[in-house]
Structure 1
Amino acid sequence: MSRFAGKVALVTGASSGMGQATAAMLADGGARVFTAQRGASEHEPIIADFSDPAAPEAVLAEIAERAGQLDILINNAGVMREGTVEETSLDDWYTQLQVNLTAPFLLIREAMPLLRKGGGSIVNVGSIEGLGSNPRHPAYCASKAGLHGLTRAVAVDHGPEGVRCNAVAPGWIDTPLNVAFIESLGDPDRFRAEIGRIHPVRRTGAPEEVARFICWLASDDASFVTGQIYTIDGGRMAQLSLP
């Protein structure tokens, strides 16, 4: 499989979960893959903390110097802190908006000169919480809804330059963080059964299932697709609760 041969990609937050799976699939498809996160990765890592507004410019400058090219940008890095609006500090609010929304904006802005050279593709990792809300997630929901809006705006403004921009909105995915949360509960098996029931497919998702769709959006197979937000949630948002 070589659908990404000759392509250069950047995946943020690729040390685990959906980012790690996406980076691996892009590399398997022939892409040269850079990753940016606070820790290590299996590809060409760039150490970056996206709570720092200066990080996106530094990351893109390094890619420009090392590769001189960028064809695919996957904005996957994110953070979530719980609390109602009354419980959410201004620092927590700003941190979630910075990492989940402002950092993707800055990465897109800095990447655009490279992306427009060859007709690039951007995929933002949003969330079903940009469409609905779980309890005690006001800042996270606001940031993901904003990311969905940014996706459409970038698609409209830069489509004439050959740059596509789409987003995925995953539901409950078995990332290491979510798996650790389930295992920390008193009865993990009961929780898995309960959460499975809110999904028509009767299970939660795997990171690879989201990564496959991200890679399709990034590929030339999706050359006429832009400005879209794709829900990947096992049917959760389509299923009404029981009366």
Structure 2
Amino acid sequence: MALLSGKRVLVTGSTRGIGRATAELFLAKGAEVIVHGRSRGDVDRTIDELGHRDRITGHAADLARRGETKRLAEEAGAIDILVNCAGIYIEKSIINSDEAFFDRTIEINLTAGFLLSRSLLPSLRQRRGVIVNVSSDAGLLGYGGSSVYAASKGAVIGLTKALAVELAPDVRALCICPGPVATDMMENAVKATSDPEAARRQWASFPLLGRVARPSEIAEAIVFAASPAASFATGSIITIDGGTTAGKRV
């Protein structure tokens, strides 16, 4: 319980999916958590459901708007741990991806994390803090039909490595790369296909372990990376993907 006691943590995208599971686990480890979501209603609902009223606050911000991202940093104040978890995934071929789609994906998946890291850097340096960025196995592999998403997540990996070099030894920076995870974001992508059941089977077939992950399984890796248990790790790219990037059976 005391592993992260007294640590202030901002988890973006923590009203759902991986972010919510991560916020819940940080609370269980004794941290003070700042919940973030796009709408005030989602933030308030999450705070009510997670409990620990003495150690949880929240702010709403649309990370597609830079002014709101900067406001979130101001409202968060001094922190020990930043988890850039918020993201969007919409499957589109490059021929169907216009500039507006590209700009929005990059803004949320990459630029928001950059802006928050830069804005919150003074307190992270002072507290010898940690930045954990959530990328994807798509940042390491080429997924056809998801070129913009893959580009955004590949850039998150590059940003993480550069931050690790630039900010050492004051701040650690690590990157978690999940494979397929059972979140509402994945479910929405599945429902958008012509055959959702076939799409679910296909996603489950990608990992060598033969299933998609639970959000809590990714949260464990995020919290580990941010904790003293990983105190000698920085610049690490941690794949929690069920083997999707290990290779192919032939």
Q: Note the C-alpha offset of 1:177.
A: 2.6
Which range moves more in the overlay, 227-236 or 32-41?
32-41
Share of identical aligned residues, percent?
35
| Residue 6 of structure 1 pairs with residue 11 of structure 2 | no
Give the aligned partner of residue 198 of structure 1. Answer: 206
Local SS of the residue matching 1:237: coil
Aligned CA distance change for structure 1 residues 191 and 137 (closer, same or farther; 3 Å): closer
Question: Using the alignment, how far apart are the partners of 1:139 and 1:198 within structure 2?
Answer: 20
2:101 to 92, 108, 120: 92
Amino acid at match of 1:28: A
Match of 1:106 among 102, 115, 130: 115
d(CA) in 1 for partners of 2:115, 2:172: 17
Calculate the TM-score normalised by the size of structure 2. 0.88
Give structure 1 stretches of 5+ with no counterpart: none
2:29 alignment counterpart? 29
Alignment of 1:47-66 (within 5 A): 47-64=60-77
| Aligned residue pairs, count | 237
Question: Counterpart of 1:171 in structure 2: which amino acid?
Answer: G
For 1:92-241, what aligned pairs fall within 5 Å after superposition? Answer: 92-160=101-169, 162-182=170-190, 191-241=199-249
TM-score by length of 1: 0.91
Q: Distance in 2 between matches of 1:198 and 1:106?
A: 33
Aligned partners of 1:96 and 1:140 also within 8 Å: yes
Q: Give CA deviations for 1:115-137 in whole Å, capped at 9, x if unaligned.
A: 01111011000011111122221
Going from structure 1 to structure 2, the CA distance change for 1:225 and 1:49 (only over 3 Å counts) comes to: same
Q: Deviations over 1:52-87 (max 9, x none)?
A: 0112321121122xxxx3000000011123322222
Q: Helix, strand or coil for the counterpart of 1:106?
A: helix
**How far did 1:172 drift?**
0.3
Q: CA RMSD in A?
A: 1.8
Return the offset for 1:91.
Answer: 0.7
5+ long unaligned stretches in structure 2: 48-55
